[in-house]
Amino acid sequence: MSSREIVARNLRKLRHAKGLSQEELANRAEINRNYVGMLESEQHAATIDMLDKLAEALGVQVEEFFNRAS
């Protein structure tokens, strides 16, 4: 599994675990909702800065996006 796939899967799982829609997460992270969808569907790869914003919006550590066991 590629790093992009792992990040996409974990982003989706973390978002669902917090009970957030893509739009709610995007609003919290101050990014476009379509971009969240593109990250989750592996159409785009997130930068480290973007992962920082998403982690803060989700209340998790950036490392959680790279957890292969999730």
Residue 64 forms part of a structural domain: no
- pLDDT given for residue 70 in this prediction: 54
- pLDDT given for residue 30 in this prediction: 97
Q: Where do we find the tokens 């599994």?
A: 1
pLDDT at 9 over 60: yes
- pLDDT given for residue 29 in this prediction: 97
Residue 69 forms part of a structural domain: no
Average pLDDT over residues 43-69: 96
User: What are the b/e assignments for 12-21, b being 16+ CB within 10 Å?
Assistant: bebbeeeebe
Neighbours of 41 (CB within 10 A): 10
Range of the domain at 34: 3-59
- pLDDT given for residue 69 in this prediction: 78
Q: Give the model confidence (pLDDT) of 14-52 as tens digits.
A: 999 999 999 999 999 999 999 999 999 999 999 999 999
* Cα–Cα dist 25/11, whole Å: 10
- pLDDT given for residue 1 in this prediction: 87
What is the CATH number for 50? Answer: 1.10.260.40
Name the domain count of the chain.
Answer: 1
